Amino acid sequence: MPNWSNWSGRQQATPEALHFLRSEADAQALVAKAAQSGIGVRAAGSGHSHAPLVPDDGVIVDTTGLAGVVSINGEARRARVWAGTKIYALGRPLHDAGLALQNQGDIDRQAIGGACATGTHGTGIKLQSLSAAVTGARIVLASGDIVECNAENESQIWQAARLNLGALGIVTQLELRVRQAYRLQEQSWTAGFEELLPQLPDLTPATRHFEFFWYPNNDTAVIKTIEETSAEASYPLAEEGGRIGWSYEVLPNHRPHLHTEMEYSVAADRGADCLGEIRRLVQSEFPEVRWPVEYRTVAADDVWLSSAYQRPTVTISIHQDIREDETPYFRECERVFLAFGGRPHWGKVNYLDGNQLAAMHPRWQDWWTVRDQLDPKGIFVNAYLRQLRPG
Ligand SMILES: Cc1cc2nc3c(=O)[nH]c(=O)nc-3n(C[C@H](O)[C@H](O)[C@H](O)COP(=O)(O)OP(=O)(O)OC[C@H]3O[C@@H](n4cnc5c(N)ncnc54)[C@H](O)[C@@H]3O)c2cc1C
């Protein structure tokens, strides 16, 4: 039986078939056949989600073959790309057209389709998630038909598709809002946590990209700021923390150590207090934890299932080595995040049920209504999503 596993190895599946897509026509035929036989279909990007979003015992569809840039409209600042394209493979072609993504996350190994499907984001008080940059999508539906959606055409489907959890169909292409190419300069330094805390209100808005990792073992923070610059790129690029280069060269990092992760978004004005509570919890209950806690910001958006829906956001991520049992630590942190009105990252660990998620997401029912209309038999809903379904 074919096996599938995610990046960390924590999520595994033994589906009936692993299918490697190379064309949209193949996706259409595959989905129509699966729907006829009532077999589930889950698209996979790079398998970098910690949440059990991809595992299914039906067909897991590897979308890596649907890669490349379809078209670029420099004037309108739009790029249409195949959904299986890895984010790292978008940098050069966009740059050659004088363009770039508005922002990127910590790494660039994800497929753009997978990243948008879960609300992947970078950091920056004025910068939204990748899902918010989705201006259009082309989707193979359960019927095998294709829908093109955007703000003018099939706008409800577009709203649901911007952050779709793989549950609307196989997204073959995405149209993204991009901007003119830009260079960035990174700076990094270490400070005691107590020293950093009073500086946060000034540092956060003063910087295009601001983030820090708090290290529990010595109570210090490694702070990183990234600003636009007109300085020439400097090659070879320096180590993380000192790079000057084009945005797609400076924003992504290398994260080789296998871990699992929980991330919650809280209202921006509660971010520092929430982190303070997490710090107290780690210091008093989990002194053995060595992995850092990451603090980032994301601008508000109007994406239905976004963790930054209608609220400026601070995201706080906790990590644990993949060889350790993260459950007691993550569960206690989740209690803190929930007390601060947190919403979980869709691609990372959480222990919530559908009622809790519904209460956090004002457009939860709308999203499910659109989804269920497109796929009444639920072939794109795996076991994990099924238990979240309303009613
Ligand atoms: C080391 C590491 C660093 C990370 N850094 C960040 C970060 O900085 N910021 C952040 O926000 N997140 C981060 N994440 C989380 C990650 O960005 C998300 O989990 C993202 O979804 C992974 O993309 P993927 O291509 O691996 O998708 P997968 O995990 O393979 O799939 C995710 C979802 O997308 C769906 N999907 C994928 N492709 C398609 C398609 N073509 N059509 C329909 N549905 C599709 C799947 O069905 C699934 O529901 C990180 C994860 C890791 C492991």
Q: What is the pLDDT at residue 1?
A: 60
Domains of the chain: 4-62 (3.30.43.10), 69-180 (3.30.465.10), 183-344 (3.40.462.10)
pLDDT at residue 48, rounded to an integer: 98
Distances (CA, A) of 314 to 210, 244, 267, 304: 11, 26, 6, 18
- Is residue 374 over pLDDT 90? yes
**pLDDT higher than 80, residue 141:** yes
Cα 374 to chain centroid, rounded: 24
Q: Residue 292 has what pLDDT? A: 98
Give the 3-state secondary structure of residue 365: helix
- How high is the pLDDT of residue 391? 80
Q: Assess whether pLDDT exceeds 90 at residue 2.
A: no
CA of 337 to the centre of ligand 1 (A): 22
Percentage above 90 pLDDT, the chain: 99
Q: Is 46's C-beta closer than 6 angstroms to any atom of ligand 1?
A: yes
- Tens-digit pLDDT profile for residues 109-121: 999 999 999 999 9
| Nearest CA-CA partner of 64 in 3, 14, 110, 10 | 110
At 216, the pLDDT band (50, 70, 90 cuts) reads very high
Centre of ligand 1 from the C-alpha of residue 34, in Å:
24
Burial of 270 (0-12, 13-18, 19+ CB in 10 A): middle
- Mean pLDDT, all residues of the chain: 97
Evaluate: CB of 48 within 6 angstroms of ligand 1: yes
385 pocket-lining for ligand 1 (C-beta < 6 Å): no
Name the residue of 22, 48, 116 to mutate for ligand 1: max ligand atoms within 8 A of Cβ.
48
Q: Which atom of ligand 1 is nearest to the CA of 166?
A: 44
Per-residue pLDDT reduced to its tens digit, 164-193: 999 999 999 999 999 999 999 999 999 999
Per-residue pLDDT tens over the stretch 66-104: 999 999 999 999 999 999 999 999 999 999 999 999 999
Whether pLDDT at 235 is above 80: yes
Residues 6 or more apart whose Cβ sits within 8 Å of residue 68: 81, 82, 85, 89, 93
109 lines ligand 1 (CB under 6 A): no
CB 118 near ligand 1, within 6 Å: yes
Q: What sign has the CA pseudo-torsion 380, 8, 246, 265?
A: positive
Check: pTM over 0.85? Answer yes or no: yes
* pLDDT of 342 strictly over 90: yes
pLDDT digits (tens, 9 = 90+) for 251-299: 999 999 999 999 999 999 999 999 999 999 999 999 999 999 999 999 9
Give the residue among 315, 376, 2 at the shortest CA–CA distance from 167: 376
* Ligand 1 and 63: CB distance under 6 A: yes
